[in-house]
Amino acid sequence: MSWRTIYVTGIVKLELKLGFLVVRGETTSRIALSEIGTIIIESTSAAITTGLLNELSRRKVKLIFCDENKFYFTT
């Protein structure tokens, strides 16, 4: 069941590893993709791998990119 909303800021790298979203920045966090419903990325310094984008699309996770002025929404 996907119920979590993940909010990402700062200089980070988001990647896929063994069914988990891995967020590498000052610290490293892992979250099971099966729990994620929405990811909000509020940073112009975030990197995201194509493998993760593909898996998020396959699982129909909502992905929202924004900066200080605009919001960009993908489904």
Within 10 angstroms of residue 47's Cβ, the number of other Cβ atoms is 11
| Per-residue pLDDT band at 67 (split at 50, 70, 90) | confident
Once rounded to an integer, what is the mean pLDDT over residues 9-36? 96
* Ranges of each domain in the chain: 4-74
Where does residue 25 rank: exposed (0-12), middle (13-18), buried (19+ CB within 10 A)?
Answer: middle
> Distance from CA of residue 16 to its chain's centroid?
10
Counting DSSP H helices and E strands in the chain, the numbers are 1, 8
What pLDDT is recorded for position 44?
87
* Per CATH, domain 4-74 is 1.10.10.10: no
What pLDDT is recorded for position 46?
94
What pLDDT is recorded for position 3?
87
